[in-house]
Structures are given as structure tokens and as C-alpha cells.
Amino acid sequence: MVFPSATTATPVVRSRVARRSDEIWSIKRFVTPAVVLLVLVALFVALSSMTLDSIESRTLNTDYIIARVREHLGLTVVASALVAVLAIPTGIVLSRTRSRVLKAIVLGIANVGQATPAVGVIILLAILWQTGYLTALVGLVIYSFLPVLRNTMIGLQQVDENVRESAFGMGMTQNQVLLRIELPLAVPVILAGLRTSLVFCVGVATIATFINAGGLGDMIVNGLKLQRYPVLVTGAVLVACIALLIDWVAATAEDVLRPRGT
Amino acid sequence: MPKQLNTALLQIAGKTSGALIELDSVTKQYPNQPVAAVKNFSMTVQPGELIMFVGPSGCGKTTTMKMINRIIEPTSGSISIDGRDVLSLDPSELRRHIGYVIQQIGLFPHMTIAENIGVVPKLLNWSKEKTSDRVHELLTTVGLEPGDFAHRYPKQLSGGQQQRVGVARALAADPPVMLMDEPFGATDPITREKLQAEFLRLQASIGKTIIFVTHDFDEAVRLGDRIAVLSNRSQIEQFDTPANILASPANEYVSSFIGLGTAIKRLVLIPVTTAQLGPASAAVARGTTVRTTDSLRDALDSLVLTGLPALAVVDELNKAVGSISVDQISAVLGAEVPILTPTAEA
């Protein structure tokens, strides 16, 4: 009962899979961190050559900067983690439900969250509720909820109907199809949404300063108000570098976590 | 799951070499549609039989097939496998014991070939060793070298190879029943013919009960033990062996579906040895010969190709046992159904 015929036309595919780690860690991969490093060194050199007045040296010192970066990253990472924990399950539930009304309502709310200017959301929350870290966090979550929600839904939706049908046809239950087939295949799309959210958060977290929640926004706003441009530029450059680095980490995670074979 | 249902499933699962399938007045009526997709479909399929559902697109043949593993739930009627009512069983559990192959194959792109084939064994909680042994056995069965293919991903295979994996995957848990929805429809003609030949040999050794849906009548003739020619709403126009359908189509619809060239199509089914062979000396001693295992269509093909009046027929040992000519081929058709010519031309 052996059919020797079939292997004759076997294409010799030197698999993508075998070369995966080479592709993920190619030279191109290290361009972003290298550029960021260069920019930071240039900034440091420029600042060291300047004589700072008392206002400037109060902010342009290691302790102050590290504290602001820590606040900024804390807000960003915690907000994104909350978005992941909340938006992915919501996306799964919405993609399971047949109720168009429910879908429209949730997507509508998420849309409003993103369409409203972030400053507006955060300041409105501060007026209605309180100022500080927690309010900034909630504002960020509201603002960056939509990309993850939408990408989760799209990611599940774009799974080939034939793949889904054969999974059911082989006797998988609804949950097994979700966990073993749909979610793994949706991972790249969901991660892309999360990446967008993270970068959103880095930018929007600069607004936290307005409601007394710290972050690098402090430096930017102080620099502007007191007309100390070295402070302003340092804050802005640091935010940009963080955004680039976070985007880089997320892109790398996307490639590493992409299911093999796709 | 209640105990008696479990035993029912085990009983079905145990019939690895084919189970009896009975469909009784099965109807599928979609809501908001004026006519039923499938109406009062009744059929009995014997264990180990390969039944072809043939009909035009949209006639309900696929819907009918998909009701057997409850991918589509029937509106009314009853379906049983080995005497057990399918509709009372848990659908997921049931499907693990029914092989399922679709045209688009639907391999899981993020799983290796071995993992794809091991899906149903995993659902049935087989041990790792048992699953891996079975995967190797099946890959060999469908002509794919396990060492070479087991750890590849579906994307790295050609269409024909993917379809072989699709068949292997459906056979993984040795199900008594296989449902196949135009499994070879998306492959090129050469690959298709090869897959069909392999599939026939495979079925000869495993003897599953198979429902095979196709719109290609020639494929139905080539593969089927019996063919059900279906028209709208899955009405059975004729249900018989390929030879009988070709020889005497039940009505206009069936003959129009068979199309032209019934005589040539019938020749596929008749072995050379059925003909009254002429003396071996009648054949010109040249290279081209016909084997005793060939069909009359192969013989005719060679005759037309060479333009010779007769060809030698040789056995497995290459020994000439006689000769065959166009007259002798015609005589076979004439003897089988004397009235063939007028009805076929009408």
C-alpha cells in the first residue's frame, strides 16, 4: 500500500523556517537602536558643552531625567498592558457575537475614545474625577483601546474560512478552534494593534503633565514656559527615542512570535 | 456525555473498514428562502461503498453531504451511521470519527504536516508515540517520505502534496466513514489523474464507506462504486453503477449530464480481456502493445495513436496473448447494449 510516485516532484524548498532566526536578527534589525544611540550621544555631547543656568541644571541632571523617563515608561507600559488585557478579550467576545447592535455600540465607544483629542479626554477626566497618575492611566487606556480591539476582531476574522471549516469538520469544539487555530493565526495582527497602541501611548503620555501625573511632558512644558530650550529639546528628543525603541521592541516581538509556517 | 451515547460512538468508531449509512427523508430548509436546499433525500449506502454525488453547482450535493457530519444541521429527516442516530450524538465527538476532506484542503498553516495529521488523534487523547507512528504510516501511505515531509509547513508543499496530506489527515483516526467534497477539484489535470489513481488503490485496501462529491462526471465514473446523479434540491435522478448509468440513463436530465461520448466513457470501465481477442498473429510486430490490465479505452487510444489495424495484447510477463482491433472493441459495446447507438445519438 505504498505509493512511491508522489515524492518525485518534491520541490527542494530550503525552508523559510530554518532561516527564521537569521531573518529576524539581520543587520537591518539593528539600524533603529544604533540611530537612537547616536542621537542620545549627540544630545549628551551638546549638553555637556553648554553652561547651564540654575533653572536648567535643576532639570538637566541624571536623577531628574531618570525619574521622568521612569514615570513616562511606567504610564506607557501599564496602560498598554491594561489595553491588552481588556481589548483582546473584548475583541474575541465581539467577534463571537452575532449581535450587530452590540458590535456597533462597543466599536462606536472605542471610536469616540480615539477620535476625541487626547488632551480633551485627559483634562475632562481630571475635571470630572481627580488629577494624578490614575486619571492619566485611564485616559491613555481609553485613547489606545481601539487599535487593539479592532485588530483582534480583524485578526480573528481574516482566518481562512476553509481552515475554520476543516477544524470544525475534524471535531474541534468552539473553544478548541479559537485557542488552537484562530488565536494563533491572529497573533501577528493582534500584535500589530498592540504596537500601534504602545506608540500612541508614548506620545500621548506627554500630556499627563497637565494633570500632574509626571512624565517627560514635564520637561517639554517647563522648557517651553521658561524658555529654556535645552530642557525642551532634551524632553522632546527623549520622547522620540523612547517611541522609536518601543516600536522596535514591538516589531521584533511581532516577528519572533509570528506563528511558524505563515 | 451520557453513557449510551459514548458506546454508540465507540461502536461507530470500531467499524474501521466501513459502516452502513442511512439517510431518510432528509430535508434542509434555510430560513427566509422559498425553496428547500435539500428535499426529502433518502439513500442507503452499504459498508465499504464509494458513492459519488454528481450534479451541477448549487444542486445541494455538498449540503447533503455536510449534513452527515452535521456541519449543516438538517431541518427534518433522520441520518444514521451503523444504525446509530447521528442527530442524537455530540457533533464534535461524532466528527472525530468521520474523515472530512474539502476542496480547499484547509490545512492549518501554523502547524507542521505531522501536527496537521495528528490533530484528530490529539483530540482523541492518543499517546505521543501512537500518534507519531500513525503519522509516519499515513505519510508513507499517501506517498510522502515522512523524514522529508513531517516537519515541513503546508506552505512549503505543492497543491498535490497538500491534498495528499488532507487525505492522510482525514484518515488519521481510521474513521469508518469519509466525506470528500471535490477533493481533487483544485488540482491540475495531470495531478488529479494521479491522485485519483492513488485514491482508488488506497480505497481498495482500506474499504471505507465514502461519500464523494464532484461535478465532474468522468471523475464519478472513474472512482465510484455507485453514482447518484442529482438535480435541484438534491433530487436523485438516478442512483446506479457507472456502467448502468452510461448504458441506460434514466432520463433526459441524466443523459444531458453525462454529455457526449458515452461510448468512450464506458470503455474506461471495461478491461481489455472482456473483448473477444483476435489471434496474436494479427498484430503487427511493432513496439506498441496493450496490457491485459488496461481498459478498452487505453487500447483504443493506442490504436488511434499508431494508426495500426490491430495491436498485440500482452500479459504481465510480456507474453502476447492475442490482438485487439477497433472492430473487437465495438463488438464489446454492441454486445453489452445493442440499442446503445440510437439512444445515445438521440
**Looking at residue A5, what is its pLDDT?**
42
Cα–Cα distance measured from residue B317 to residue B196, given in angstroms and rounded to the nearest whole number: 26
Which three-class secondary structure state does DSSP give residue B277? coil
pLDDT bracket for residue B5 (50, 70, 90): low
pLDDT bracket for residue B8 (50, 70, 90): confident
A88 Cβ neighbours under 8 A, 6+ residues apart: A148, A152, A190
**Where do we find the cell 495529521?**
B117
Helical (H) or strand (E) element with B78? strand B76-81
Helical (H) or strand (E) element with B238? strand B235-240
Does any CB of chain A come closer than 8 Å to the CB of residue B186?
no
Does any CB of chain A come closer than 8 Å to the CB of residue B249?
no
The packing angle between helices A217-225 and A62-96, to 10°, is 130
* Model pLDDT for residues B292-304, shown as the tens digit of each residue: 888 888 888 888 8
Tell me the shortest Cα–Cα distance from B181 to chain A, in angstroms. Answer: 11
Q: What is the ipTM of this complex?
A: 0.78
**Looking at residue B343, what is its pLDDT?**
41
The DSSP-derived string for B29-72 is --TT-SS-SEEEEEEEE-TT-EEEEE--TTSSHHHHHHHHTTSS
* Model pLDDT for residues B27-48, shown as the tens digit of each residue: 999 998 888 999 999 999 999 9
- Per the CB < 8 A criterion, the answer to whether A137 and B77 are in contact is no
Give the chain A residue nearest B181 (alpha carbons): A166
Cα–Cα distance measured from residue B321 to residue A108, given in angstroms and rounded to the nearest whole number: 82
> Is pLDDT of A165 > 80?
yes
* Model pLDDT for residues A179-219, shown as the tens digit of each residue: 999 999 999 999 999 999 999 899 888 888 888 888 888 88
Lowest mean pLDDT among A84-88, B16-20, B118-122: B16-20
Q: Quick one: residue B105, left, alpha or beta (phi over 0 = left, psi -120 to 50 = alpha)?
A: left
- Per the CB < 8 A criterion, the answer to whether B332 and B274 are in contact is yes
Q: Which of A13, A166, A170 is nearest residue B96 as measured by Cβ atoms?
A: A170
- Dihedral (Cα; B10, B16, B21, B27), 10-degree rounding: 70
Tell me the shortest Cα–Cα distance from B201 to chain A, in angstroms. Answer: 8
Cα–Cα distance measured from residue B231 to residue B72, given in angstroms and rounded to the nearest whole number: 19
**For an interface test with B, which of A13, A162, A170 has the most B Cβ atoms less than 10 Å from its Cβ?**
A170
- Number of neighbours of residue B339 by Cβ within 10 angstroms: 10
Phi, psi of B303 (to 5 degrees): -60, -45
Q: Which chain B residues have a beta carbon less than 8 Å from that of A160?
A: 104, 106, 109
Q: What is the largest CA-CA distance in chain A?
A: 88
B69 Cβ neighbours under 8 A, 6+ residues apart: A169, B91, B94, B95, B98, B100, B179
Which three-class secondary structure state does DSSP give residue B216? coil
Instruction: Out of A94-103, A120-129, B132-141, give the one with best mean pLDDT.
Output: B132-141
Cα–Cα distance measured from residue A162 to residue A149, given in angstroms and rounded to the nearest whole number: 24
Q: What is the 3-state secondary structure (H, E, C) of chain A?
A: CCCHHHHHHCCCCCCCCCCHHHHHCCHHHHHHHHHHHHHHHHHHHHHHHCCCCHHHHHHCCHHHHHHHHHHHHHHHHHHHHHHHHHHHHHHHHHHHCCCHHHHHHHHHHHHHHHHCCHHHHHHHHHHHCCCCHHHHHHHHHHHHHHHHHHHHHHHHHCCCHHHHHHHHHCCCCHHHHHHHHHHHHHHHHHHHHHHHHHHHHHHHHHHHHHHCCCCCHHHHHHHHHCCCHHHHHHHHHHHHHHHHHHHHHHHHHHHHHCCCCC
pLDDT bracket for residue A8 (50, 70, 90): very low
**Looking at residue A16, what is its pLDDT?**
47
- Per the CB < 8 A criterion, the answer to whether B20 and B47 are in contact is yes
pTM (2 d.p.): 0.78
Contact yes or no for B198 and A3 at CB 8 A: yes
Phi, psi of B163 (to 5 degrees): -65, -35
* Model pLDDT for residues B173-190, shown as the tens digit of each residue: 999 999 999 998 878 888
Q: Which chain B residues have a beta carbon less than 8 Å from that of A261?
A: 109-112, 153-155
A15 Cβ neighbours under 8 A, 6+ residues apart: B152, B153, B156
Cα–Cα distance measured from residue A73 to residue A86, given in angstroms and rounded to the nearest whole number: 20
Mean per-residue pLDDT of chain B: 87
**Where do we find the cell 498592558?**
A81
> Is pLDDT of B92 > 50?
yes
